[in-house]
Structure 1
Amino acid sequence: MPEIHEIATLTSKGQITLPKPIRQALGVDAGGKVVFELREDGQIVVSRAEAEHEDPAIGAFLDLLAKDIETGRHVQGLPDDLARAMLAHAGHAISLDEEIDGDVVI
């Protein structure tokens, strides 16, 4: 990767705008995440945030949808293990075998 030297101005709120060549080199757009790493020698390394924050249940669900699109089928129901994983990652302790009380709005 070629060396890029850019200057950004810090606002009174501590914000900066990443210069366009830096955004392009990192491969980030609006809403993208970057990581700042302060090293012992005082250098700061800025890099694109990778999959460390991605939810594995969402990835599995997206894979399931992609396969359905490829085959022309429609998702009829989620596999129980996938549904449980999605609920666990969403912070809900739910039994898929429990009766549903009240109306369900979809």
Structure 2
Amino acid sequence: MALTSTPCSESTLTDRYQTTIPEPVRKALVLNKRDKIGYSIQSDGQVVISRVDQTESDPILGKFLNFIAQDIEKNPQHLQGISSDLVSRVKSLVAEVDVDLDAPLSDEDE
């Protein structure tokens, strides 16, 4: 059984060749801000867009984490636990803060 598709949404290109991905498409692809989109050009000229899963790591963060790991390995004597006073202080500072790590950021938060 062949799948047929009909356009469900459209968007317009700006003068800079930019566009907004329509909400039904964003939802279908489970896209969030800053996600990457892949484009596949089919032999019949149709273009298929898909969400690109970002499995690549941040090279700067990777270098920093490697630096930390090497330093811990070379100088384990520099490691020290945090005091219970500091733990209590941090808990008191964030006691009334509700955070949903899965919620998208609002426009004001970016």
* TM-score, normalisation: structure 1: 0.47
Q: If you compute each CA radius of gyration, which structure gives the higher value, 1 or 2?
A: 2
Q: TM-score, normalised by structure 2?
A: 0.45
